[in-house]
Structure 1
Amino acid sequence: MSTQLSAGGTEVTVDQENGCRIGSLRIDGTELLRQGPRYGSFPMVPWCGRMKDGRFHNGATVHQMPLDHPPHALHGLGRDARWRPAGATATEAAFTYDLVDPWPTPGRVTQVVTLTEDSLTLTMGVETYGDSFPAQAGWHPWFLRNLGGQDVEISFDPAWQEERGADHLPTGHRIDRKPGPWDDCFGMPDGVDVTLTWPGALELRITSRSEWVVVYDQEDEAVCVEPQSGPPNGINTAPRLVTPVDPLEVSTTWTWRRLG
């Protein structure tokens, strides 16, 4: 079961049965996202990227998550869950997902997908039913590298790059941006702002008020630009507590311009 949205020449498919991912984004009939059950664009929640050894601390208590990418836990639990529809129109749909075992603390995640003729906005909220807990949220889109015979160009100007250790986690040191290809996290304190350009076809700008973005472009098929509320393993190194009066809220907007 999936949910279809459309506006002008743009069509979006949300696969709520498979992690509430954007399974398809078609502009004037052209697909932008890598296809397949593991791809599209999925929400990362309640953590983003790699969690070191699959463990996180909540106060003095250590919790163990499944090691689905040994030796780490990868991309949260929401991408493998069934989400519930919570209302839809032709251009907007909302979905919910309850945090359950193996996550130790009850909570709810909401994702709203809003489409216009030239933009897609994704908004996610994480709230607790009682006890506070650290959490992260973000998105992992797989954009096709090639559209119309042209490879994508990635443009962004981060304030820093997180140095990546041998375990693929940030070391805590900030360095100047190195040349790609990347599987790296970058800091953008004024908000994420990355532009993908397929010459002669399309320009797509990814923005977010969040200040962290992971860029992954080491595969021939696709590139990933992942706005998120904290760096990889940030649930341990820069925890953001979700409390009954202070939920975690993040959003990203993709805006496109046809270049044909």
Structure 2
Amino acid sequence: MSNEHITLTAGDAEVDVLPGNGGRVGGLRVAGRELLRQGERFGCFPMVPWCGRIRDGRFLDGAVVRQMPLNAPPHAIHGTARDGAWKVARVTGDEAVITYDLVEPWPYTGRVTQVVRLAADSLSLTMAVETYETSFPAQIGWHPWFNRNLGGEGAQDVRVDFTPGWQEERGEDHLPTGERIEPLPGPWDDCFGMPDGVDVTLTWPGQLELKVSSREEWVVVYDEQEAAVCVEPQTGPPNGLNSLPRLVTPLEPLEATTVWSWRRL
């Protein structure tokens, strides 16, 4: 794993980009306070070329069944790019562009480009998957681990607020059944539909409010762990390579953006 460590700054915000560790954002500090759970598996990692679980690690490409390694048995989870080393294309004071060439076990050639752009009050993450050869189904998403508590005297745990259009019913295998239901109260490890775009607000009372937004209409919220809360914008639901494939073609890449904007309280 490359130890390359890029730090971008804007105002009193700092973000760490770790190309060698799966192209993840390793940390985000606002006024010196770390918002992301620390550790080599945490921060915020890109989910590409798929998001969440693929049932039994299998998906159909036309009539061909493709098998991915079962890294979350009995399923395959969160894509392959988080396990690879990304290359640095360009860095300025407040922006980094990194790339990853898709390799085995993913059966198609393609390139992922991620742009990390920091402003004094926001972080923007943009990803694109492109191919010059065979078309293939793909998904893009991000998996941030936000610290449940930011520390400091009397600090309260984060509150998560959002108004989804529906919740994907979750089967016993943790995958959407295909039915849409009225949103249930948490705790969650669930996918929600937000047809007007992802819009989720995290509030650390008395400290910070952070809004996760995206034009995509799917978000997974995972808050079953004590240390952190995950709010994951993505281009389709879990198992989406089977249920709702988005095609990457030589003429049409798949692109997505999420913006996290914050204000002090």
* Bin of the TM-score, shorter chain as denominator length: over 0.9
Deviation string, structure 1 residues 183-212 (Cα, Å, up to 9, x no partner): 000000110000000000000000000000
| Paired position in structure 1 for 2:64 | 61
Whole-Å Cα distance in 2 between the matches of residues 88 and 58 of structure 1? 36
Instruction: Supply the AA of the counterpart residue of 2:179.
Output: H
Deviation string, structure 1 residues 106-147 (Cα, Å, up to 9, x no partner): 000000000000000000000112110000001000000012
Whole-Å Cα distance in 2 between the matches of residues 23 and 101 of structure 1? 25
Whole-Å Cα distance in 2 between the matches of residues 150 and 79 of structure 1? 31
- Counterpart among 185, 195, 210 of residue 191 in structure 2: 185
| Paired position in structure 2 for 1:11 | 14
SS at match of 1:142: strand
SS at match of 1:151: coil
Map 1:68-87 → 2, pairs under 5 A: 68-87=71-90
**2:153 paired with 1:150:** no
- Counterpart among 32, 40, 45 of residue 48 in structure 2: 45
Q: What is the Cα deviation at residue 56 of structure 1?
A: 1.1
What are structure 2's unaligned runs of at least 5 residues?
none
SS at match of 1:150: coil
SS at match of 2:199: strand
RMSD (Å) for aligned C-alpha atoms: 0.5
Q: What is the Cα deviation at residue 2 of structure 1?
A: 1.2
Whole-Å Cα distance in 1 between the matches of residues 61 and 98 of structure 2? 27
Instruction: Supply the AA of the counterpart residue of 1:243.
Output: T
Whole-Å Cα distance in 1 between the matches of residues 58 and 131 of structure 2? 20
TM-score (norm 1): 0.99
| Paired position in structure 2 for 1:110 | 113
| Paired position in structure 1 for 2:174 | 168
- Counterpart among 99, 102, 105 of residue 102 in structure 2: 99
Whole-Å Cα distance in 1 between the matches of residues 10 and 84 of structure 2? 27
The number of residues matched between the two structures is 259
Instruction: Supply the AA of the counterpart residue of 1:52.
Output: R
Instruction: Supply the AA of the counterpart residue of 1:103.
Output: W
| Paired position in structure 1 for 2:138 | 135
- Counterpart among 221, 232, 235 of residue 229 in structure 1: 235
SS at match of 1:85: strand
Runs of 4+, deviation exceeding 6 Å: none
